[in-house]
Structure 1
Amino acid sequence: MSTQPAPEVALKERPADRRAIVSWCLWDFGSNAYNTVMLSFVFSVYVTSAAAPTPERGQEVFSLLQTIAGFGVAILAPMLGAWGDQVRKRRRMLTMATVMVVVLMAACWFVLPFEPGRGEQYLFLGAALIAGANVFQQIAEIFYNAMLIDISNPRTIGRISGVAWGLGYFAGVLCLLVALFGFVLDGGMFGIPTFESQNIRAIALFMAAWLLVWSIPVMLFGPEASPREQTERFNVFRAYRDIVRRLVHMWRSERGLLHFLIASAVYRDGLAAVFAFAGVIATSSYGFASEEVIYFGLAANFLAAVGAWLFGLVDDRFGPRPVILIALSTMVVLGVILVSTPSKMLFWICGLGIASLVGAVQSSSRTLLARITPVGLENETFGLYATIGRAASFIAPFLLFVFTALMGARFGLLGIVLTLALGLALFIPLRIAGVTHGHRQAMAQR
């Protein structure tokens, strides 16, 4: 059982800055344009099908560049986090990363459909632009998540994080509806020509504008940490050396924090797989038509938003640990039930039940880390959160592949269930002072 004593943490009792809180939440509302439409449901499908000679080739190139992007995040995240902790310019760095995501999404307009005379250059261009946007999106999330410490206190952190996460899912529903009915179905209500897929390419411009508009408030009013007195210039090699030393120190003196980073990396990989593979499993194993998958995706995002909001209140009342335990346990049980039968109705019930808990676990994981992050190491800690998460990102896809190969497509779902169960098993022994209900009042009085 890992236990971390209560150190001097960055999260303190402070008055609420409502303008900063609203601005911070609106960034999550805007940023889901990339996650839902560009990466998950619409534009990635266009790149891997219409811009590729074959879907197989499209998937091969797309997955390759996403893998490269993952390595890029794993390498850059802790270093940039350490730099951010030294220069204390979270808002500026969040702004720069967000603008890069906007630019790369807008550049997707130039990704033309495949024609034999064009070769594969537009396939590589589209895959590279989405992969690049993925890198900057995850870098932006490091500084965004670290801001949670500056706008909340031990009594409000769960509520604020849950509302923001829920707004992100709700925005995903809105963006998906706009993309489908405004641009895709029957040529779209906006009347954009379908010649050379202009209507689909225009989605990228709309989503880039969406992210930019909703990010402006946090660019102007987001919290900015007080500058730290500089004793020496930032050195990249020294930063990586210090990160290794930090991990060694965590093993010796902050083992609870390291334990959480590892456990959360495992179950967060399972959470990511829930949305990444839900449509594929629904189609291949439960007889869903393409239109039904869209309806399921809309319902799943809506319920994920509601779950994040409601469990954010539970987080503030009882702490993040019970939320994570209850939600993960419920997801594992529903997953086992779902695997037991190919019933479409059961997929709707259990699948939506699982989806409703994804945001709750993600949000409470973020608040737990924010509660135990040491003073002055906010960005670096969230950078490690991203890096260690990347290191575990192969588990669910690999297990899904193994079970699919051995037992068939429906049983591939067991790979996701086992990943969640493994993460839950790693998390259960974890005890960290300062994040349970019994410690909340003591923290608030600091």
Structure 2
Amino acid sequence: MTKKPSKGNGLFAWAMYDWANSAYFVMIQTFVFAAYFAQSIAENETTGTALWGNMIGLAGFVIAISAPFLGSVADEGGRRKPWIAFFTAMCVFGCGMLWFTEPSADFVWFALIMAFIATLGAELSFIFYNAMLPDLTTSLTIGKWSGWGWAMGYAGGLACLIVGYFGFVENGANWFGLDDNPEALQNVRITFLFTGIWYAVFSLPMFFKTPDVPSKNKKITQAISDGMVQLKNGITLLKGEPNIWKFLLARIFYNDGLATIFAMGGVYAAGTFGFDTGQIFMFGIALNITAGLGAFGFAWLDDKSGSKKTIVGALIGLIVPVTAVLFVESETWFWIWGLLLGIFVGPVQASSRTFMGRLAPQDKRNQMYGLFALSGKLTTFAGPIMVGWITFLMGNQRWGMSAILLLLIVGLLLMFGVDEIKGTSEEKVPLSLS
């Protein structure tokens, strides 16, 4: 029997979780806390870059080995929301604890541990969040909603950056009675606690309004046992699905490049171009505007022209400004090329999620999204670690960041070997059946 896709508030509330979750990525992983750690907690920016890259790399490794297993267990258990709630709480806790990371080398390990916990929570929640989309929409509009979800994420990140900067960094002492001693940096640290609160509050619409699939009423031990079997079967299934594994192989590389941009972008801006906290906030705000516009605009192209063409075009659009950013000396040109880069970030991510939804067998979608998450995390520990160690050994961040360019180019070349899905834009049936 064909299942009627959910409309209205269910889909909008689903997209609101992207709005909530993106606060972590812009405030903690990419811009504010990453730069704060390298500039104010670590012994120096070179050491901070290496430590931050290693932490993100370790988190990526843990996510890589756990994501397929968790996806398989969720397939057997049914519901996704309990998993999302657990990992959301994990990220909220980690973000909140970063308030206590004072600008001192004494807090290096505490900062890295809390950021590690927050990273795991934010990333693992997305396995189950992504797997909800095909049950909520049809193949005719999945590209649009996936793109709009990413656009909502960038809008949420933008809003969080604006409130964080003008509400706390600029006016925290006057409005909230924070210590205005510049050495304490309470006006910066409070934004980490604010990020956790933001994530918690704006994730609520998804929990209350978006329908979940029914529970299969399995005991957790049985779900784990069956999930292990399904994981093994899923890997075996890939042998008969060359288009899926080719796509996942390509994504291993280009998503690693994207993840490294997110993990090291703020550190690069601070270390190479000398951005202070205010400049990093402003750059983050501007970048989220261009990224949101790109995700929103390319969403229509995904449904009209296909996911593969959208991914390939966006990767080409990324490679050019990434190359430029590695060579420019002027802060003005860094702004120009950096903002251009943002336009193509969202389409790569959104269309990859759409492509997986179109490729995956309907009864194994959580499982396939677990493998999708694996492809996105299998080598993400390598990119930041490469950047960190090359920067450390060469004493130059530009050399380290050049690893991103190589990863994007390899991913692009591999995508040419993936076949576009035929006929998906004409099909109007739901992507999930009951």
1:374-401 per-position Cα deviation (integer Å, ceiling 9, x unaligned): 1222222212222232222255446657
User: Whole-Å Cα distance in 2 between the matches of residues 374 and 327 of structure 1?
Assistant: 26
Correspondence 1:91 to 2:75: no
Pick one of 142, 161, 175 that aligns with 1:190: 175
Judged with a 3 Å threshold, the aligned counterparts in structure 2 of structure 1 residues 426 and 189 are, in CA distance, closer, same or farther, namely farther
Residues 105-184 of structure 1: matches in 2 within 5 Å?
105-114=95-104, 120=106, 122-184=107-169
| 1:246 corresponds to | 234
1:303 CA drift (Å): 0.4
**Aligned equivalent of 1:4:** none
Structure 2 residue aligned with 1:8: none
For the 8 Å contact 2:57–2:384, the answer to whether it is kept is no
Render the CA deviation track for 1:223-282: whole Å, top value 9, x for unaligned: 21134475995264664454244223312x112111111111211111223343444445
Q: Which moved more, 1:303-312 or 1:74-83?
A: 74-83
In structure 2, do the counterparts of structure 1 residues 281 and 111 end up closer, same or farther at CA, with 3 Å as the change threshold? closer
Q: What is residue 213 of structure 1 aligned with on the other side?
A: 201
Could you tell me whether the CA contact under 8 Å between 2:55 and 2:116 is conserved in 1?
Answer: yes
CA separation of 1:68 and 1:32: change in aligned 2, threshold 3 A: same
What do the CA deviations read for 1:141-173 (whole angstroms, capped 9, x no partner)?
Answer: 011000111111111111111111111112212
1:382 pairs with one of 369, 372, 388: 369
Q: Choose the corresponding residue for 2:304, options 312, 317, 320.
A: 317
SS in 1 for 2:178: coil
Which structure 2 residue ranges, 5 or more long, are not aligned? none
1:280-429 equivalences under 5 Å are 280-282=267-269, 291-337=278-324, 339=326, 342-394=329-381, 396-397=383-384, 400=387, 409-410=397-398, 412-429=400-417
Q: Distance in 1 between matches of 2:330 and 2:33?
A: 30
Q: CA deviation at 1:312?
A: 0.6
Alignment-derived partner of residue 5 in structure 1: none
Provide the C-alpha distance between the structure 1 equivalents of 2:352 and 2:22, rounded to a whole number of angstroms. 18
Which stretch has the larger CA shift, 77-86 or 228-237? 228-237
Deviation at 1:53, TM superposition (A): 5.7
Q: Distance in 1 between matches of 2:324 and 2:39?
A: 34
Report Cα offsets for 1:31-71 as digits up to 9, x if no partner.
11211112222234444554556656655554444343223
What pairs up with 1:3-42 in 2 under 5 angstroms?
A: 14-42=4-32
Q: Which residue of the other structure, out of 191, 196, 211, is the alignment partner of 1:203?
A: 191
1:183 touches 1:192 (CA, 8 Å); kept in 2?
Answer: no
TM-score, with length taken from structure 1: 0.84
Task: Sort the Cα spacing of 1:303 and 1:402 in 2 relative to 1 into closer, same or farther, 3 A.
Answer: same
- Deviation readout 1:272-315 (Å, 9 max, x if unpaired): 23343444445565676765444332211110001000101111
TM-score, reference length from structure 2: 0.86
Contact 1:192 1:199 (C-alpha < 8 Å) held by counterparts: no
- What is the distance in 1 between the residues matched to 2:203 and 2:156? 13
Identity %: 30
Q: Distance in 2 between matches of 1:129 and 1:407?
A: 27
Amino acid of the residue matched to residue 72 of structure 2?
A
1:199 deviates by 3.4
Q: When the two structures are aligned, how many residues end up with a matched partner?
A: 426
Superposition RMSD in Å? 3.2
- The alpha-carbon distance between structure 1 residues 198 and 220, as it changes in their structure 2 partners (threshold 3 A), is same
